[in-house]
């Protein structure tokens, strides 16, 4: 399979270069110009090697060329961000104008949205400068700004604070990878809407369509006698906004290992793609049917992408699906892994920071897992009964995706759902009904036929309730979630090496590669046990920097003694943000709280 997927190697070298570019910028302070000069020389060298027929040397040179390209575009992007930060921090201003660029998102005590700065008031003059920022407004506002609105804000943009405690989530770096360099907390008396242009500019059509779709779901799902949970689920899965999901509802999906369906991702686009293909595949038998089919696929996928608001996850998944369709229409053989890698290549060339996005990583690993592991897993059983065959197909699909993503999930989220194998087939089955039915509901609502919209809304609401029900099953079962699992980067790399060598041993029917996989497992176990022993034996004292609180900890073995004020002891969210990651990384099994009077 990989021999027919040259773009896989290209993307690997590009991604490695992006990671190296970060290292060169932060540790070596190497200027981007130097990397670009070397890249130009390698480009000339590759041209000469190709001209004189040196295929092996050319392949090596091309790998180096992609590596340097990745390093160069990443360093150039970060240099531009540093320049933006330096410019605005040196600017003396007391007010600025900013254009709202995202749909407002409800938080616990605020409403947040992205803005793009336009002008800054300096010494009674207005200076134009663009920078992305995240703005928070009180949640008590009756009139919330919408995409396209221009705001006049009194105050300054601030840099997000870096992590102050060991192992704490680096929120500032998370925002920087998304291109957001500043934040602002604005009260209701410090801003004013000076221009309203919501939805008029073509650049805000995706947001306008997404808001329209939300209104349709509110009318046909929330107001159709369905529970608020059904509307919240549809809104999260179709529009990518979790505002109306309950805490217990989200918890059910976390416990079941299906939390990924609450975020718009490549899986959602794949389901819509398959539904469209099944509904209109017969059109290809017409004389010019393949062009009609291509048009229908592009139009419906484009409509769905607009409904979601065109987030990056949907853009890359839609791109991959359209490459598949075009390859099929051209009657050319194509490798799914090659198509997947090509879409990743395009995304990373446009935005190298997408490599650091957890959604990007998980969605591509899930698709790669399906392409690589589904066949060997499905071949274990071959039921003759159609119902059992379908159930096993969905189960093998869920296993394949989970197998490819569980090391990364452990690394980021430190937990593992033990009943994913039981729940995911049900969730995926009902999701395959819910997503196409929701798209049909939106298309039907355009016709203005109310009874047809009501009927589609009933189907959507019923399938949403079934999806919620299936996700809630593990909560009543013992040991439904393994928590506080820690995996460091070397262990993460080793786990993926074991998975790949094990798959390649099956693919190549090679005993040698199977032995390599077993040796990797032994090395992994050795490193893991040694690391756990060192962590257990090392005592450690840490004074945590928590605003408005005093927190001191002492670690002994796998016990953490936590001395704090009473207010911190009651604040679970503050503990999770500042201390929990540290406790997980030190493999703490018991926390003894000591509160100061």
Q: Is 80 exceeded by the pLDDT of residue 27? A: no
**Using CB atoms within 10 A of its CB, is residue 83 exposed (0-12), middle (13-18) or buried (19+)?**
exposed
Q: Residue 156: pLDDT above 80?
A: yes
Average confidence (pLDDT) over 314-319: 72
Question: What is the C-alpha separation between 27 and 21, in angstroms, rounded?
Answer: 10
Joined tokens for residue 567 = 């207010």
pTM: 0.86
pLDDT of residue 263: 74
Residue 551's contacts (CB-CB under 8 Å, 6 or more residues apart) are 543, 544, 562, 563, 564, 568, 578, 579
The pLDDT mean for the chain works out to 85
Lowest mean pLDDT across 66-70, 430-434, 479-483: 479-483
Which residue carries 């853009």 as its tokens? 315
More confident residue, 507 or 330: 507
pLDDT of 41 > 80? The answer is yes
pLDDT tens figures, 325-359 = 776 666 556 677 887 888 888 889 988 998 998 88
Q: What is the pLDDT of residue 225?
A: 53
Q: What pLDDT does residue 305 have?
A: 83
Nearest residue to 312 via CA among 273, 270, 266, 268: 266
| CB neighbours of residue 192 within 10 Å | 11
pLDDT digits (tens, 9 = 90+) for 194-244: 876 654 667 777 888 888 888 888 888 876 555 678 888 888 888 878 778
What is the per-residue pLDDT for 502?
Answer: 92
How confident is the model over 237-278, as pLDDT tens digits?
Answer: 888 787 788 878 888 888 887 777 777 776 777 788 778 888
> Cα-flanking dihedrals φ and ψ of residue 330, to 5°?
-80, 0
* 3 — pLDDT class (breaks 50, 70, 90): low
Helix (H) or strand (E) holding 257: none
Q: How far apart are the first and last CA of the chain?
A: 65
User: Can you give the pLDDT at residue 153?
Assistant: 92
Task: Compute the average pLDDT of residues 399-407.
Answer: 86
Cα–Cα distance measured from residue 135 to residue 147, given in angstroms and rounded to the nearest whole number: 13
State the pLDDT at residue 508.
87
Q: Higher-confidence residue: 171 or 103? A: 171
Q: What pLDDT is attached to residue 116?
A: 93
Confidence of residue 542 (pLDDT cuts 50, 70, 90): very high
Are 471 and 423 contacting, i.e. CB atoms less than 8 angstroms apart? yes
Residue with tokens 């406790």: 583
**How many CB atoms are closer than 10 A to CB 559?**
12
Q: Which long-range contacts (CB under 8 A, 24 or more apart) does 438-445 make?
A: 438/217, 438/234, 438/237, 438/238, 439/238, 439/272, 439/275, 439/300, 439/303, 439/304, 439/307, 441/216, 441/217, 441/220, 441/221, 442/213, 442/216, 442/303, 442/307, 443/303, 445/216, 445/219, 445/220
Q: In sequence order, which residues have a C-beta less than 8 Å from that of residue 95 and are 6 or more positions away? A: 120, 121, 152, 153, 154, 155
User: Which is it for strands 110-122 and 132-138: parallel, antiparallel or unpaired?
Assistant: antiparallel
Report how far residue 442's alpha carbon sits from residue 274's, in angstroms, rounded to the nearest whole number. Answer: 18
- In 3D, which of 242, 259, 120, 253 has the Cα closest to residue 184? 120
Residue 313: predicted pLDDT: 67
CA distance 265 to 239: 11
Give the Cα separation of 151 and 188 in Å (integer): 12
Instruction: State residue 329's pLDDT score.
Output: 67
Q: How far apart are CA 425 and CA 395, in angstroms?
A: 5
Instruction: Give the largest CA-CA distance in the chain.
Output: 83
Cα distance between residue 2 and residue 337, in whole Å: 7
Query: Do 151 and 193 form a contact (C-beta atoms < 8 A)?
Result: yes
Query: What's residue 433's pLDDT?
Result: 87
- pLDDT of 385: 83
Structure tokens at 319: 């791109």
Residue 318 has a pLDDT of 74
HSE of 544, CA atoms in CB hemisphere, 13 A:
28
Indicate the SS3 state at residue 200: coil
Which pair of tokens denotes residue 393? 């197909």
Tell me the percentage of the chain whose pLDDT exceeds 90.
26
Give the pLDDT of residue 328. Answer: 66
SS3 state of residue 574: helix
Quote the pLDDT of residue 227. 61
341 burial level (CB within 10 Å; 0-12, 13-18, 19+) = buried
pLDDT at 486 over 70: yes
The CA distance from 209 to 222, in Å, is 19
Please determine, for residue 312, whether its predicted confidence score (pLDDT) is greater than 80.
no
- Does residue 319 carry a pLDDT above 90? no
pLDDT range class, residue 534, cuts 50, 70, 90: very high
- Give the pLDDT band of residue 413 (cuts 50, 70, 90): confident
């Amino acid at each position: 399979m990989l021999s027919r997927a040259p773009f896989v190697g290209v993307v690997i070298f590009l991604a490695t270069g992006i990671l190296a570019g970060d290292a060169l910028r932060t540790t070596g302070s190497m200027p981007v110009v130097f990397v670009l000069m070397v890249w130009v020389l390698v480009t000339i060298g590759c041209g000469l090697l190709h001209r004189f027929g040196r295929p092996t040397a050319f392949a090596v040179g091309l790998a180096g060329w992609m590596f340097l390209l990745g390093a160069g575009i990443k360093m150039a992007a970060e240099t531009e961000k540093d320049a933006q930060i330096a410019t605005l921090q040196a600017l003396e201003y007391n007010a600025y104008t900013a254009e709202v660029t995202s749909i407002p998102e409800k938080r616990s005590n605020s409403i947040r949205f992205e803005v793009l700065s336009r002008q800054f008031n300096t010494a009674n003059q207005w200076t134009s400068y663009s920078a992305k920022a995240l703005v928070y407004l009180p949640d008590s506002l009756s009139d919330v700004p919408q995409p396209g609105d221009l705001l006049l804000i009194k105050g300054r943009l601030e840099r997000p604070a870096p992590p102050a405690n060991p192992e704490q989530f680096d929120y500032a770096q998370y925002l920087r990878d998304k291109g957001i360099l500043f934040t602002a907390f604005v009260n209701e008396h410090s801003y004013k809407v000076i221009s309203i242009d919501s939805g008029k500019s073509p650049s805000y059509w995706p947001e306008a369509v997404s808001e329209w779709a939300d209104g349709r779901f509110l009318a046909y799902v929330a107001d159709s006698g369905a529970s608020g949970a059904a509307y919240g689920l549809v809104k999260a899965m179709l529009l990518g906004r979790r505002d109306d999901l309950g805490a217990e509802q989200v918890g059910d999906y976390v416990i079941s290992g299906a939390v990924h369906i609450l975020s718009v991702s490549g899986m959602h686009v794949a389901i819509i793609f398959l539904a469209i293909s099944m509904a209109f595949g017969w059109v290809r038998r017409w004389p010019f049917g393949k062009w009609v089919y291509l048009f229908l696929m592009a139009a419906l996928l484009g409509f769905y992408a607009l409904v979601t608001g065109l987030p990056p996850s949907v853009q890359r998944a839609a791109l991959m699906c359209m490459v598949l369709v075009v390859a099929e229409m051209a009657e050319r053989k194509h490798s799914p892994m090659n198509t997947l890698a090509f879409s990743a290549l395009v995304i990373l060339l446009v935005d190298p920071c997408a490599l650091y996005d957890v959604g990007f990583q998980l969605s591509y690993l899930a698709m790669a897992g399906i392409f690589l592991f589904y066949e060997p897993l499905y071949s274990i059983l071959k039921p003759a009964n159609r119902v059992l065959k379908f159930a096993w197909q969905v189960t093998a699909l869920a296993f394949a995706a989970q197998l490819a993503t569980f090391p990364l999930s452990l690394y980021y989220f430190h937990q593992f759902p033990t009943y994913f194998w039981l729940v995911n087939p049900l969730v995926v089955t009902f999701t395959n009904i819910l997503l196409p039915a929701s798209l049909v509901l939106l298309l039907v609502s355009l016709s203005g036929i109310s009874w047809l919209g009501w009927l589609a809304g009933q189907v959507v609401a019923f399938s949403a309730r079934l999806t919620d029900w299936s996700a809630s099953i593990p909560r009543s079962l013992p040991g439904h979630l393994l928590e506080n699992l820690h995996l460091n980067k070397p262990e993460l790399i080793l786990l993926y090496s074991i998975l790949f060598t094990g798959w390649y041993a099956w693919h190549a029917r090679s005993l040698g590669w199977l032995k390599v996989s077993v040796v990797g497992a032994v090395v992994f176990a050795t490193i893991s046990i040694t690391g756990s022993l060192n962590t257990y034996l090392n005592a450690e004292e840490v004074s945590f920097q928590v605003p408005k609180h005093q927190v001191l900890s002492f670690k002994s073995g796998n016990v953490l003694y936590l001395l704090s004020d009473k207010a911190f002891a009651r604040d679970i969210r503050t503990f999770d943000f500042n201390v929990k990651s540290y406790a997980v990384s030190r493999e703490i099994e018991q926390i003894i709280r000591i509160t100061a009077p």
